């Protein structure tokens, strides 16, 4: 299984960066994005307490992997259906859901490269102080939330099997949840009831609010969030696996080829 995962990672990485030029293009795209962040911070940062550029950048970096896990499983499922490998995966020895979870995780090395290039570009071109933050704390938090966001990604794939569509909806949902989590503005601007709903019922908000604190070595919010992290951790993956298997059984009983858009 480890060998399969390595092959999937290599395939995904090779597709993204077959030569040096795509890496160069990635750096240019990152520089353009950071320029937008920079000028946005210059325009609106006067009303913000602290470094607004760093605030936006931290939101981008912290939510990059959660957003990837949230969307990648459904995207890989659609890819396998369109290229005809879905039926072969259904009869392969490993559990179908496990293969797609591995396939979703295989996009991780590519995203880590993007995050590294993002930090590098921000540090050298935009004077971002990388030493100001405790990155190991963020790494620990990311690992803790991994199963939760993978489970949500599997739920998205389940929707795709049931209805034959939904990738665009999943991508839009990821964008909306990212924005409402406070990636680009503090959640304190929202009404208090909206803040509480967002924090306790959206893993994106729960993660990002906690991540911003632990990056500053402040674990107080983590203590408050821990019971809710535990609830999401215990319930999300078993529920998503159950619903995914039900969707697979429903597709088999239907007896017609699965088509997605």
Per-residue tens of pLDDT for the chain, all 261 residues = 666 666 776 667 666 666 777 778 888 889 999 999 888 888 876 666 678 889 999 999 999 999 999 998 888 888 888 777 777 777 776 788 888 888 888 888 888 888 999 999 999 988 888 888 999 999 999 999 989 999 999 998 888 887 767 778 888 888 888 888 888 888 777 788 877 788 778 899 999 999 999 999 888 888 888 998 899 989 998 999 899 888 888 777 776 656 666
- The token duo for 254 is 């239907």
Contact indicator for 208, 183 with CB cutoff of 8 Å: yes
Buried b or exposed e, range 133-161, using 16+ CB within 10 angstroms: beeebbeebbebbbbbbbbbbbbbbbbbb
Q: What is the DSSP code (8-state) at residue 176? A: H
Domain borders along the chain are 2-254
CB atoms within 10 A of CB 208: 26
CA-to-CA dists, residue 28 to 55, 117, 260, angstroms: 21, 10, 33
Of 57, 49, 70, 43, the closest CA to residue 184 belongs to: 57
- The token duo for 142 is 């990311």
- Alpha carbon distance 11, 243 (integer Å): 29
CB atoms within 10 A of CB 119: 16
């Amino acid at each position: 299984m480890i060998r399969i995962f390595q092959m999937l990672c290599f395939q995904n990485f090779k597709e993204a960066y077959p030569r040096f030029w795509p890496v160069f293009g990635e750096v240019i795209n990152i520089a353009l994005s950071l320029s937008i962040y920079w000028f946005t911070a210059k325009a609106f940062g006067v009303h913000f307490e602290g470094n607004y550029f760093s605030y936006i950048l931290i939101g981008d970096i912290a939510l990059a992997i959660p957003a990837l896990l949230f969307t990648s499983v459904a995207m890989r499922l659609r890819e396998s259906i369109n290229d005809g490998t879905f039926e072969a995966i259904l009869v392969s020895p490993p559990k179908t859901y496990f293969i797609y979870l591995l396939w979703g995780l295989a996009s991780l090395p590519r995203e880590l490269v993007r995050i590294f290039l993002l930090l590098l570009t921000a540090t050298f071109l935009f004077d971002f102080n990388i030493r100001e933050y405790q990155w190991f704390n963020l790494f620990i938090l990311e690992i803790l939330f991994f199963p939760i966001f993978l489970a949500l990604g599997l739920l998205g794939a389940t929707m795709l099997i049931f209805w034959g569509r939904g990738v665009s909806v999943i991508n839009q949902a990821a964008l909306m949840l990212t924005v409402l989590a406070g990636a680009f503005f503090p959640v304190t601007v929202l009404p208090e009831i909206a803040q509480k709903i967002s924090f306790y019922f959206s893993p994106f908000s729960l993660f990002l609010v906690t991540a911003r604190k632990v990056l500053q070595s402040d674990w107080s919010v983590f203590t408050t969030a821990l019971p809710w992290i535990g609830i999401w951790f215990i319930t999300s993956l078993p529920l998503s696996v159950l619903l995914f298997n039900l969707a697979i059984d429903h597709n088999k009983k239907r007896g017609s080829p699965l088509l997605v858009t």
